[in-house]
Amino acid sequence: TRPAVGTPEFRRQDLLNAIERAAGVDLCISRPKDRLSWGIPLPFDPDFVTYVWFDALVNYISFAGYKAEEGAGLPDFSKLWPAACEVIGKDILVPAHGIYWLCMLHAMGFADDQMPQLLVHGWLNIKGEKMSKSLGNIVDPNDLCDAFGAEAVRYYLVRDTKTGYDSDFDPERMKMIYNTELANDLGNLLSRVSKMILRSGGIVPQPEKLEDIDTELLDIAKSSVSAMADNLAQYKPDQGIEAAMSVVRAGNRYLEKCAPWQLAKSGDTDRLNTVLYCAAEALRHVA
């Protein structure tokens, strides 16, 4: 069957190699009860229990309403399956999710086009080492949220993590990104634009005559939406964030060149309205 790994591409090759090594090997779905007494008994042999992965993996479809009886209160399976993707860690791709799970689905009658896509993520390390209680290098996310706010923590983790690969958590880098990108770049643009619009009545004004510098910013903002959508569809949120931040940086450069605070002092209302409109449009596309 075709590999169900969606991203990253090198994980697909890992799976193909594992399938090749497993060719001709029988897959045992049970374990003797005298060795694993806590397992779920096999209905056709009381001396054996179900292999734990065969118990666990079926939850992907059972919770979604597979073969559910009417009135069971479960979802409509046809609306949830095939799943857009299943997010798993790299350490459980082979053999559980990449081989066992597909074998199970095929055995139940699922066709190739009903196989789920697997989105395989890496580990979040510290100085190249996996976080571990025994090493004492764990980080409490609650402490980070107290210091920076939950949204800022999410931003850093998505922005600095490439989907599918290991990444290093660096508290100093997080602080730097928070200060430069969120506080200075985005915060500066939002503060400048919102304050001037509030002083002008609180409503985004309509533009007058657009100059080249105005259309350039608007074009960057519009193209960023497409770039963000494409990257998210390919499970590349870090690059989607970069597309959004390119608009923020362009917006700050635009304000420096157009200097709306000077336009307000000089009384050039038409030009001020156009500049505020374009800057607000840039922020709208980022949002």
pLDDT in tens, 118-155: 999 999 999 889 888 888 899 999 999 999 999 999 99
Higher pLDDT, 85 or 192: 192
Contacts of 182 (CB under 8 A, 6+ apart): 152, 155
User: In angstroms, how far is CA 225 from the centroid of its own chain?
Assistant: 16
Higher pLDDT, 211 or 10: 211
- Within a 10 A sphere around the Cβ of 152, how many other Cβ atoms? 18
DSSP state of 204: P
Quick one: which of 87, 69, 88 has its CA closest to 77? 69
User: Structure tokens of 137?
Assistant: 């290098």
| Terminal alpha carbon distance of the chain | 41
Range of weakest confidence among 129-133, 145-149, 195-199, 226-230? 129-133
Name the 3-class secondary structure at 180.
Answer: helix
User: In angstroms, how far is CA 13 from the centroid of its own chain?
Assistant: 22
How far is 235 from 133, CA to CA, in rounded Å?
A: 30
* Helix count and strand count (H, E) for the chain: 13, 9
User: Structure tokens of 61?
Assistant: 């479809």
How far is 268 from 177, CA to CA, in rounded Å?
A: 37
How far is 86 from 80, CA to CA, in rounded Å?
A: 12
Amino acid (one-letter) located at 54: F
How far is 214 from 207, CA to CA, in rounded Å?
A: 10
- Residue 5: pLDDT band by 50, 70, 90 thresholds? low
How far is 217 from 38, CA to CA, in rounded Å?
A: 63
- Radius of gyration (C-alpha) of the chain in whole angstroms: 27
Contacts of 237 (CB under 8 A, 6+ apart): 158, 163, 231
How far is 65 from 110, CA to CA, in rounded Å?
A: 15
> pTM for the complete prediction?
0.85
Instruction: Give me the percent of the chain exceeding a pLDDT of 90.
Output: 80
